[in-house]
């Protein structure tokens, strides 16, 4: 699995991020596919990469985990390759594992932490 970069947003970047995510969601709701929806946001390229990655993960979380659609159905609905959905889903699962481990370490200082 690739190394992930976690973005810490400034207050201004946070505002831009939230507005961009809302625009992408609205565009998809209005019939654009995922890539078309992402193309309408006009932000710094570095920030846009994080926004697009997060937007896809949000859509997967809502459509697959919350609403029970298969990953194939998510890919079809967003009109993107299943491979892109699979990669984003695996990144999400890895993110959850990393977060869970961090919470465990903070909640249980001094406890052993394995690599299983």
Under 8 Å CB-to-CB from 67, ≥6 apart: which residues? none
Residue 78 lies in a domain: yes
User: What gap in Å lies between CA 94 and CA 101, rounded to an integer?
Assistant: 11
Residue 4 lies in a domain: no
More confident residue, 106 or 52: 52
Residue 42 lies in a domain: yes
Q: How confident is residue 1, by pLDDT bands cut at 50, 70 and 90? A: very low
Residue 25 lies in a domain: yes
DSSP secondary structure letters along 41-72 = ----HHHHHHHHHHHHHHHHIIIIIIT---HH
Q: How confident is residue 9, by pLDDT bands cut at 50, 70 and 90? A: confident
Residue 6 lies in a domain: no
Domain count, the chain: 1
pTM of the full predicted structure?
Answer: 0.82
Residues 74-84: what's their mean pLDDT?
98
- At 30-44, the pLDDT tens digits run 999 999 999 999 999
Q: Where in the sequence is the domain holding 30, given as residue range(s)?
A: 11-107
């Amino acid at each position: 699995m690739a190394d992930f970069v976690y973005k810490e947003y400034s207050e201004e970047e946070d505002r831009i991020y939230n507005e961009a995510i809302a625009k992408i969601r609205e565009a998809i709701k209005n019939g654009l596919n995922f890539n078309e929806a992402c193309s309408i946001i006009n932000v710094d390229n570095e920030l846009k990469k994080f926004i697009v990655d997060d937007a896809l993960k949000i859509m997967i979380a809502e459509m697959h985990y919350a609403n029970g659609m298969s990953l194939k159905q998510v890919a079809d609905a967003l009109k993107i390759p299943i491979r892109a959905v699979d990669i984003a889903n695996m990144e999400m699962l890895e993110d959850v594992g990393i977060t869970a481990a961090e919470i465990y370490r903070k909640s249980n200082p001094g406890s052993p932490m394995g690599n299983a």
